[in-house]
Amino acid sequence: MATATIGEPTRRDFLFLTTGAVGAVAVGSAVWPLINQMNPDASTLAAATTEIDVGNIAEGQIVTIKWRGKPVFVRHRTKKEIEDARAVPLSELRDPATDQSRAEKPEWLVVIGICTHLGCVPIGHEGPYEGWFCPCHGSVYDTSGRIRQGPAPYNLALPPYKFAGDTKITIG
């Protein structure tokens, strides 16, 4: 009776390998729901977009709304605020960005109201540029929400948004 040489896979090897492979797939598919359940659920994802009617916001006014649990500043900018923002040379900026890239329609600035330093909510119409001033550690933002002075490293973040008609903005 010929004996199998070492290296020739036996029926047992095949069975071990396939059982192991199928077992790994089974364990993986059993474990995945236990991990994925911690991802945002359907109700959280539904709250991921917020609509806001901007028709009632006066020129010069800043409105704070909640989006995904965070404050968002919607600022109806005056002509002067827009001009001031556009006149700034990029070389002066810590986090260079043109005002045009930050406001699709120049009279509406929509930024996330969280200081990029350590997370406090800055105060509007304050600071040397009349943009925002963060009272926690003194960061100063201009009328485009860009960092100008103080310890914050980045400009106020931009949420994804689009205009649905002239007086409605959908954020997220």
Partner 1 sequence: MSGPSTYVPKSGLARWFESRLPLLGLIHSSFIVFPNPRNLNYWWTFGGILAFMLVAQIATGVVLVMHYTPETTLAFSSVEHIMRDVNYGWLLRYAHANGASMFFIAVYIHMFRGLYYGSYKAPREVLWILGVIIYLLMMATGFMGYVLPWGQMSFWGATVITSLFSAIPFVGDSITTWLWGGYAVDNPTLNRFFSLHYLLPFMIAGVVVLHIWALHVPGSNNPAGIEKQTEKDTLPFHPYFTVKDGFALVCFLIFYSWFVFYVPNYLGHADNYIEANPLQTPAHIVPEWYYLPFYAILRSIPSKLGGVVAMFGAIAIFAFLPWLDTSKVKSAAYRPVYRFFFWVFVACALLLGYIGAQPPEGGYVLAGRLLTAYYFIHFLVILPLIGLFETPRTLPASISDAVLGSHLSPGAVAAQVSRKG
Binding residues for partner 1 (CB under 8 A): 33-34, 36-39, 41-44
Smallest gap from Cβ 48 to partner 1, in A, equals 13
Residues serving a catalytic function are 137
d(CA 124, CA 126): 5
Q: Report the residue number, 23 or 128, with the smaller CB distance to partner 1.
A: 23
Token code pair at residue 52: 């806001």
DSSP state of 91: G
Smallest gap from Cβ 8 to partner 1, in A, equals 22
Give the distance from CA 70 to its chain's centroid.
10
Q: Report the residue number, 5 or 37, with the smaller CB distance to partner 1.
A: 37
Alpha helix (H) residue ranges in the chain: 11-36, 42-46, 79-86, 99-102
Q: Report the residue number, 29 or 91, with the smaller CB distance to partner 1.
A: 29
Smallest gap from Cβ 5 to partner 1, in A, equals 24
